[in-house]
């Protein structure tokens, strides 16, 4: 089993910092209300917890001939034998995206299925997938 960490883009990191700083900013501007009714911070903290779940829980795993992906509540497995093409250095704008950054890879598998993932070391993942299934076509993004 081999685990590939997810690439973490600056947009998600900035969002986490903003959401983490917002309750402190509100406390500084209206501390009396927060001290008397701290439950008011719950709507501000809930999105942070949700995004942290994705941020800390996104990963990709290659084991027993299957590529597993997990990102928050999005989970699944793809048999490596069904992978047809990998598109490098691109982003999928609609569809299944268990990823935290742009510039990842699109994996086309089965007859019409595709998924976008963004591992830290995509070249290593691609090499390992091709070792398991040499018929995979690797395509570069058209400029």
**Per-residue CA distances from 75 to 7, 54, 60 (Å):** 17, 11, 10
Burial of 143 (0-12, 13-18, 19+ CB in 10 A): exposed
Distance between CA atoms of residues 51 and 12, nearest Å:
8
Domains for the chain: give ranges and CATH numbers.
1-143 (2.30.29.30)
pLDDT tens column, 62-91? 999 999 999 989 999 999 999 999 998 777
- pLDDT lower than 50: segments of the chain: 143
Query: Across all residues in the chain, what is the average pLDDT?
Result: 88
What is the reported pTM? Answer: 0.82
DSSP of 18-31, one letter per residue? HHHHHHHHHHHH-H
In angstroms, rounded to a whole number, what is the distance separating the alpha carbons of residues 77 and 70? 9
């Amino acid at each position: 089993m081999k685990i590939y960490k997810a690439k973490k883009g600056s947009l998600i990191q900035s969002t986490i910092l903003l959401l983490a700083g917002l309750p402190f900013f509100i406390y500084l501007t209206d501390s009396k209300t927060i001290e008397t009714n701290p439950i008011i911070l719950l709507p501000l903290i809930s999105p942070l917890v949700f995004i942290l779940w994705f941020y800390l829980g996104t990963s990709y795993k290659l084991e027993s001939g299957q590529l597993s992906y997990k990102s928050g509540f999005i989970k699944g497995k793809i048999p490596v034998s069904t992978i047809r093409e990998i598109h490098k250095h691109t982003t999928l704008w609609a569809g299944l995206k268990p990823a935290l950054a742009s510039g990842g890879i699109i994996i086309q598998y089965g007859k019409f299925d595709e998924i976008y993932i963004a591992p830290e070391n995509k070249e290593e993942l691609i090499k390992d997938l091709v070792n398991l299934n040499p018929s995979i076509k690797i395509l570069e993004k058209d400029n």
